[in-house]
Amino acid sequence: MTLLQLRRGALGAGLAGTVACAIGAIWAPQEFFAAWLAAYVFWLGVPLGALALVEVHDLTGGRWALTVRPGLTASLLTLPLFILVFIPIFFFLPELYSWARPDEAAYLPNTFYLDAPFFIGRFAGYFVIWLILAAIALLRSPLDGDGASGGLGAVSGIGLVLLAFTATFAAFDWVMSLEPHWFSTMFGLIVGSGQFTTGLCVVILVALMAKRMPAPGEGPPSDRFHDLGSILLAVLLLWAYFEFMQFLIIWEEDLRDEIGWYVKRLYGPWGSVMLTIVLGHFVVPFLALIWSPVKRSRGALGAVCALVLVTGLIDVWWMVLPEFPGGFTWFAPVAAMGMGGLALALFLWRFERGLAKAERRIPAPRGVRFERGVSHG
Amino acid sequence: MSTPELYGIAAEFTTAEAVTAAARHIKNAGFRRFEAYTPMPVEALDELIAGKQVALPLLIFCFGCIGFLVGFFMQYYLAVVDYPINVGGRPLNSWPAFGPITFEITVVFAVGGAFLAWFIFNRLPRLGTPLSAIPGFERATIDRYFLCVEASDPRFDRARLRWLFERCGAHRIAEVAA
């Protein structure tokens, strides 16, 4: 399967999923918006995770960035799409958020924050910051060099702080406010580290699948993937730490206003979903990645990344969907496919152009032909 | 042919590339019990002299598992069997609350096990190796690279080793007394 075929397939799946969702939304708007929001929170991890990775790399350096460079650039360039796909939600806020329904909001103490114009204003604010950071990262890209860090200067440090705050508040706004009485200060970091994981897995998977010439100074493939596997392990540990600490604190306090969030998610069908997430998003990848040969094998590392991506999507469903009477509907996978297809098509389009540019830059050794085909790993 | 009073034959090289190439030749010639002494880590050598290294991560993992079980069941025993207290109606086996301590003890066992295993595998504490008797061996901590095939190697053969080392461009060859 070549990149072009994959891109056409992604675009087809994206359009089909989006159209199916749009038609279904006529009959079941709330179910559609719940699924659309979950898909949004999941796929936004692609550009946001890439942004965080670029800035972390700028601070710490490392050869691994050379391996994922084309993927990171393409991920950053998908960011504008995520402004577009959120716009329908603005027109139907009361379908999603009880604070946007005047009769229910009357009892809320925090309506100054949970207020439609302010909500939209904050959305604009987050994207202004993210777009500026992404633009700086792309224009002054340290990734064009030899893998050394420092090209962004002070921007990367300040950028990471800004990113942590904006991602936290974005998670508060979009997901936590679904239940306006419930709060957890750690929630933003849980969603944010989940998005970081998504972004990282996508660029690793793409780097594993794309057959291309290594950039100068990149080192042998097994070493490069070993580093990426170690980073994935660290990020998963961070995610698990946040997730467990929130659960531990709320479980120990057992307060009426807080425990309800977990009661909805720990019992019944969502309880087994949670076990799936714990196993697939932490236990299995953890045990696999502490074993060095897994990190050195394309197939095994790819399988771990795929598992983490799938369970990451299930994790977002587990956070968003129990708040709605409809729960899990056919909209959830179709919306994820629709938005993911569109994002992937855009991603692959930029990725291909990035590869073509990189090939022009690296002088080809005689007798070696560049391959741009993508095979399923 | 092993000689009892001999520890091995050592060769001195001036570059990391030379010692790596020599180690590769020695390994290809069928020798297994050899060790390199270098002023800084030479990554390629790790893979040539490996064998024992595979055991260390596995050992650390086992120590971690033991720590996990010890950490969890210590708390389980205290809270459920030895001194059960009703804390606000929570179950006696409050496993989420055991989490942080279980994690800490897992880490202590894994790190402690790693340290212990590292100590034993390196045959510490000892003040030196038989190679310390070679004049100029202290340069192994400065700018020289030593490779020593031990006499306990089943294929040990003095003449053959000397010939191999010479072909590999050894700067100096010395017999090491046990």
CATH code of the domain containing B15: 3.30.70.260
pLDDT of residue A214: 55
Kindly state whether residues B59 and B35 are assigned to the same domain.
Answer: no
Sign of CA dihedral A80, A340, A170, A325: positive
Quickly count helices (H) and strands (E) in chain A.
Answer: 18, 0
Worst-scoring range by mean pLDDT, A36-50, A207-221, B58-72?
Answer: A207-221
Q: Across all residues in chain A, what is the average pLDDT?
A: 86
Residue A340 pLDDT > 90: yes
B60 with B35, same domain: the answer is no
Q: What is the C-alpha to C-alpha distance for residues A181 and A187, in angstroms, rounded to an integer?
A: 14
Q: Would the CB atoms of B99 and A290 count as touching at under 8 Å? A: no
Of A252, A291, A292, the CB nearest to B97: A252
Q: What is the pLDDT of residue A365?
A: 47
Q: Which of A46-55, A114-123, A244-253, B136-145 has the lowest mean pLDDT?
A: B136-145
Report yes or no on B164 lying in a domain: yes
Is residue B162 domain-shared with residue B117, that is, in the same domain? no
State the pLDDT at residue A367.
Answer: 42
Which residue of A lies nearest to B91 if distances are taken between CA atoms? Answer: A252
Does any domain span residue B75? yes
- Which tokens belong to A123? 């959305």
Question: What whole-number percentage of chain A has pLDDT above 70?
Answer: 89
Same domain, B59 and B117: yes
Q: Does the residue B45 lie in any domain?
A: no
> What is the rounded average pLDDT for all residues in chain B?
85
The parent domain of residue B87 ranges over 55-121
pLDDT of residue A212: 60
Confidence band of A213 (pLDDT split at 50, 70, 90): low
Query: What is the pLDDT, as a whole number, of residue A39?
Result: 95
Per-residue pLDDT tens for B89-135? 888 999 999 999 999 999 999 999 999 988 888 778 877 788 888 88
- Residues A275 and A284: their CA atoms lie apart, in Å, by 12
Secondary structure (3-state) at B90: coil
pLDDT at B174: 84
B109 and B148 co-located in one domain: no
CB-CB under 8 Å, A292 with B57? yes
| A247–B88 CB contact, under 8 Å | no
Cα gap A117→A123, rounded to integer Å: 10
**B63 and B109, same structural domain?**
yes
Distance CA B35, CA B45 (A): 9
Enter the tokens of residue A95.
């379908």
CA dist., res. A275 & res. A27, Å (int): 33
Q: What is the mean pLDDT of residues A64-92?
A: 90
**Domain assignment of residue B130, yes or no:** no
Name every residue whose Cβ is closer than 8 Å to that of residue B72 and which is 6 or more positions away in sequence.
B95, B98, B102
Q: Give the DSSP per-residue string, B40-64.
A: S--HHHHHHS-SSTTHHHHHHHHHH
Q: Is the pLDDT of residue B140 over 90?
A: no
A256/A246 Cα distance (integer angstroms):
16
Min Cα distance B25 → chain A (Å) is 22
In terms of residues, how long is chain A?
A: 377
Q: What is the mean pLDDT of the segment spanning A218-236?
A: 85
B96–A248 C-beta distance less than 8 A: yes
Looking at the predicted structure, is the pLDDT value of residue A256 above 80?
A: yes
pLDDT of residue A254 exceeding 80 = yes
Residues of B in contact with A254 (CB under 8 A): 88, 90
Asked if the structure places residue B20 within a domain, the reply is yes
B91 in contact with chain A, both atoms CB, cutoff 8 A: no
Interface of B with A in 23-62 (CB under 8 A): 57, 61
Is the Cβ–Cβ distance between A46 and A134 less than 8 Å? no
CA neighbor of B29 nearest in space, from B175, B171, B156: B156
Residue ranges in chain B assigned as alpha helix (H): 16-28, 43-48, 55-76, 95-121, 158-167
Q: For residue A68, what pLDDT band results from cuts at 50, 70 and 90?
A: confident
pLDDT at residue A223, rounded to an integer = 76
Same domain, B21 and B63: no
Report if residue B1 sits inside a domain: no
Q: Are B59 and B34 contained in the same domain?
A: no
Residue A360 pLDDT level (bands cut at 50, 70, 90)? low
CA torsion angle A320 A323 A326 A327 (round to 10)? 50
* Closest CA–CA distance from residue A238 to any residue of chain B (Å): 14
Tell me the pLDDT band of B175, cut-offs 50, 70 and 90.
confident
Chain B residues with CB under 8 Å of A290 CB are: 57, 61
- Tell me the DSSP string of A152-206: TTHHHHHHHHHHHHHHHHHHHHHTGGGSTT---TTHHHHHHHHHHHHHHHHHHHH
CA atoms of A370 and B34, how far apart (whole Å): 42
Residue A181 pLDDT > 60 = yes
pLDDT number for residue A375:
40
Predicted pLDDT of residue A196: 95
How many whole angstroms separate alpha carbon A123 and alpha carbon B177? Answer: 76
A274 vs chain B: nearest CA distance in angstroms? 15
Identify whether residues B103 and B65 lie together within a single domain.
yes
Asked whether the beta carbons of A354 and A50 are under 8 A apart, the reply is no
In angstroms, what is the C-alpha Rg of chain B? 24
Q: What's the count of helices (H) and strands (E) in chain B, helices before strands?
A: 5, 4
What was the pLDDT predicted at A335? 93
State the pLDDT at residue A361. Answer: 62
Give domain status of residue B136, yes or no.
Answer: no
Under an 8 Å CB criterion, which residues of A touch B?
244, 247-248, 251-252, 254, 290-292
Q: How far is A275 from chain B (nearest CA, A)?
A: 14
Q: Are residues B35 and B62 in the same domain?
A: no
Q: How far apart are the C-alpha atoms of A99 and A180, rounded to whole Å?
A: 7
Peptide bond into A365 cis (omega under 30): no
Instruction: List the single residue in A251, A290, A291 with the smallest CB-CB distance to B96.
Output: A251
Range with the lowest mean pLDDT among A1-5, A185-189, A226-230, A239-243?
A1-5
The domain total for chain B is 2
Interface of B with A in 139-158 (CB under 8 A): none
Flag if B88 and A254 touch (Cβ within 8 Å): yes
Residue B23 covered by a domain? yes
Residues of A within 8 A of B64 (CB-CB) are none
| Residue environment code for A4-40, b if the CB has 16+ CB neighbours within 10 A, otherwise e | eebbeebbebbeebbebbeebbeebebbbbbbbbbbb
Distance from CA of B100 to the nearest CA of A (A): 9
Q: How far is B22 from chain A (nearest CA, A)?
A: 22
